[in-house]
Amino acid sequence: MSNNERSIDGAVNAKFILRHFKMKLLLSYYYFQVLTREDIKSSSLPYVEQSDTEWSRALPYNSLPGPSRLRLIKEVLPGGKYCNVNMMELNRLLRETYGDIYLVKGLFGREDTVFTYNPHDFEIMFRNEGIWPHRVGLQTFNYYRKKKRPEIFHGIGGLVSEQGKTWGDIRSKVNPIMMKSQTIRENLPQIDVIAQEFTKRLESMRVIGDNLIKCNFLEEVQKWAFESISFIALNKRMGLFGDNPDRKALSLAENMSLFFQMSYEFDVKPSVWPYVQTRAFKEFLTVYDNITDITLSFIEQEMSELQRRGIQEAKSVLEKLLKIDKHIALVMVMDMLMAGIDTVGEYIFIFTYHTSKDL
């Protein structure tokens, strides 16, 4: 989708939306708590007998429909029907061909992936996966952090890419801070100020006469998201709504946009990068470098400010995490800044668009 296609030329009642959903958006910055073994055991008891019965009727794994490895490679190459399609379109095409459950066999060192569109299957999966989840992650993310820049990340991939017990260990360290309602209450007044500034900025962009907002709305939402999450993570304003916004913040936004475009090529589509690093993949690593260096500069700046101020009550998420584990603090704050500028921004963009159509 191009920037022009993503921009909204329509009246958006932004003040109404942000007022009613402000708390919900703030909560979206935080993560869900990991269930304990006892939680899962107790919640699964009513399903044990049913699971045993269904297990006895289960078909062999190899009977799942889906494209062969050779066919999949052929279809993603130029001229194939999966070439130059986005993830949503690819899933739609595969579902039309193979039904509500299908198997995509792993290519170039990747694991098999089963896709299902049956909500009953979702319940079974979540009730039986255990306390250590194993998810389809970003392989390039793990490679970059653990192989390319180990001096920065010290073997920590972060919640996005870690699996199993390693993921659980990180989660157990950050949950007491990330899931604390007090953290939300502390930040809410300033988040409200940022939201009000955002709505006033949108109002100033209205065209006199038709009240339409003539701008790239996604970019404006990303500025709001980044301004909000940077305050939560670093207790710092980026000034993105002013005439002289932080250049590094703008550069981070640009590189994040490139990251998600290129990630589809190397993390979703079949790619030979684990064996041969092409020129395009090296450009992708440069984008990773830019994101890492910019976010690290923000974090180091805040850490220097903390040392200058001396010991006092922790305000930002970074300050609180530093008291637990320095390396996890760096990775967690990086992930918050990255997710805030794109994931939250995209979510609010889509939500606002559909809400404005139905008002």
Q: Please indicate, yes or no, whether residues 186 and 121 belong to a single structural domain of this protein.
A: no
Q: Please indicate, yes or no, whether residues 120 and 187 belong to a single structural domain of this protein.
A: no
Inside any domain, residue 194: yes
Q: How many residues are given for the chain?
A: 359
Largest CA distance in the chain: 68
Choose one of 129, 158, 183: the last residue of a domain.
129
Q: Please indicate, yes or no, whether residues 200 and 333 belong to a single structural domain of this protein.
A: yes
Angle between helices 217-234 and 247-263 (to 10 degrees): 110
Q: Determine contact, residues 229/268, Cβ cutoff 8 Å.
A: no
Inside any domain, residue 28: no
Q: Which CATH number covers residue 239?
A: 1.10.630.10
Q: Which domain holds residue 105?
A: 59-129
Inside any domain, residue 107: yes
Inside any domain, residue 40: no
Q: Give the C-alpha separation, 157 to 167, whole Å.
A: 9
Beta strands in the chain (DSSP E): 101-104, 113-116
Q: Determine contact, residues 122/116, Cβ cutoff 8 Å.
A: yes
Q: Please indicate, yes or no, whether residues 215 and 335 belong to a single structural domain of this protein.
A: yes
Q: Give the C-alpha separation, 226 to 159, whole Å.
A: 20
Angle between helices 279-309 and 217-234 (to 10 degrees): 40
Q: Please indicate, yes or no, whether residues 187 and 319 belong to a single structural domain of this protein.
A: yes
Domain count, the chain: 2
Chain position carrying tokens 């998420």: 317
pLDDT tens for each residue of the chain, 359 residues long: 444 433 344 334 444 444 434 434 343 333 333 333 444 444 444 544 556 677 788 888 889 999 998 888 888 888 888 888 887 888 899 999 999 999 988 888 788 888 999 998 888 888 877 787 777 777 898 899 999 999 988 888 888 888 888 888 888 888 888 887 887 888 889 999 999 999 998 888 888 777 778 788 888 888 898 889 888 888 888 888 887 888 888 888 788 888 888 888 888 777 889 899 999 999 999 999 999 999 888 888 888 887 787 756 667 788 888 888 888 888 888 888 877 777 888 888 888 888 888 76
Q: Please indicate, yes or no, whether residues 89 and 211 belong to a single structural domain of this protein.
A: no
